Amino acid sequence: MTMSSNSAGKKAGGAESSDSMDEDGASRPQDAVHPALADVSEQGADVAVEASADSAELRKIIHVDMDAFYASVEQRDNPSLRGLPVIVGGRPNGRGVVAACSYEARVFGVHSAMPSAEAGRRCPDAIFVKPRFQAYKQVSQQIHAVFREFTDVIEPLSLDEAYLDVTNNTLFAGSAYRLAREIKSLILERTGLVASAGVSYNKFLAKIASDYKKPDGLFCILPEQGESFVASLEVGRFHGVGKVTEARMHDLGIQTGADLRQWSEEELAREFGKSATYFHRVSRGVDHRPVRVSRTRKSIGSERTFADNLHDRAAMLEILDALCEELHEQMQERELASKTVTVKVRFADFSTYTRAHSLPQGVLDVGASRRALPFLLDRALSLRQDATRERGQNAEVGADSGQGGGIDFAHGPGGERGPGRGPGRGPGLGFAQNRGAGRRSGVRLLGVAFSGLTPAGEDRPVQLEMNWSEN
């Protein structure tokens, strides 16, 4: 969606919109904003972002995130799509997922990673467009060229998103806020696309700020505002808190940053393990993570949590298939390939089983990955059944250890034609047919992950017999 920098008509309520201040810094009438920022003007935003009390280093961080990037590129390149609900991704009559959607589609509840079929039901008039990753990559190069005009300390997160450390930049009298406004303006001028930007003294708050007034947002959180801002923020808006963790926090009575701050790091560790230190710090507005110029990604994954537990194996496979396709699209976008695919199954009692398949050489293409899913799911379900039947004893998993021969993707285990067919179609069916345990045995979460990532093109995809690795 192409918009001018003035199109959102934003007002400065803190250090927010770039168009809500006169050039001399005098403020205009303001919209309601976050209470922690109610008294902040652009003049305040222009103050050098100072180090927090826990950091000895002065830092100014900008997080830039394009608005509805894929869909906006499609609307820019095809004017007939402007103002219409556009969904980039798989067709609604298939098993694809939504890669991105325009804001016109979002009002119907459509969002990225949603199955395309569900998106089509929610927005019957939506226009589905096949992704054009090469076009998105070309636009991304233009955007990142703008970043490099102002700093070399850039941490790309995706084609349309990056952190910038502008601590040492002296343009605009050292104002990170004005610098972010200039970056937004240049991106619009050169690409015809709109970006949102967040400015703060660390990565956690800069990312929250960029999302706070989307689309076409510009928002700044100063050091003296950080802790109070986080205190009233819902934990679901914390970067790093997914749906499952959010639900767990709510169960514990943690609704906001202020609630989270009441917990000691030791108490958080008992509930959230390795994430405890991160949660303990960011609830206080503290994040010492540097902007990493060289960022090597080792894995990529996606999960889906269900309001109603799943019992049907076919429904589980449909979800896993959609997640797999979504992740392959992301890897294609980032020019990555994977050697290992992992399936994660979490049950109603939070017991979790993961099963992985790795290739000793070459990389998995999308077809090989999808054909692995039924086998990995069945092994996870089988282990659950074993654990239920033989509680207190070690589960019998000899058949899952890779012994007794590999599995040919083309014909399935034991030479059967295709996964899930014939008399040996897998232990998952026994689970699907046995609903006697009710919600206690239902699946509440499914996930797919790819690891052992390498730059695409270094290895060609191969389809050999499978050797199973059990996690």
- What are the structure tokens assigned to 238, written together? 């914390």
What is 408-463 written as a DSSP string? BTTTBGGG-SSTT-STT--THHHHHH--TTGGGTSEEEEEEEEES-EETTSS-B--
Nearest to 70 by CA among 171, 7, 160: 160
The answer to whether residue 57 is catalytic is no
Nearest to 286 by CA among 325, 260, 324: 260
What is 16-79 written as a DSSP string? --TTSB-TT--B-------GGGTT--HHHHTS--PPPTT-SS---EEEEEESSHHHHHHHHH-G
Give whole-number Cα distances, 162 to 74, 137, 139, 254, 259, in Å: 21, 14, 14, 30, 30
- What are the structure tokens assigned to 131, written together? 């992704």
Q: CA–CA separation, 229 vs 235, rounded Å? A: 12
In eight-state DSSP terms, residue 127 is E
Catalytic residue, from 161, 227, 246, 329: name it. 161
Give whole-number Cα distances, 222 to 16, 17, 42, 49, 225, in Å: 12, 15, 11, 6, 5
Contact 95, 325 (CB under 8 A): yes
Q: CA–CA separation, 87 vs 84, rounded Å? A: 10
What is 143-166 written as a DSSP string? HHHHHHTT-S-EEEEETTEEEEE-
- Crossing angle of helices 133-148/313-333, nearest 10°? 50
Q: CA–CA separation, 218 vs 177, rounded Å? A: 8
Alpha-helical runs (H) found in 192-311: 203-212, 223-231, 243-251, 257-261, 265-272, 276-282
Single-letter code of the amino acid located at 407: I
Contact 160, 88 (CB under 8 A): no
Catalytic machinery residues:
161
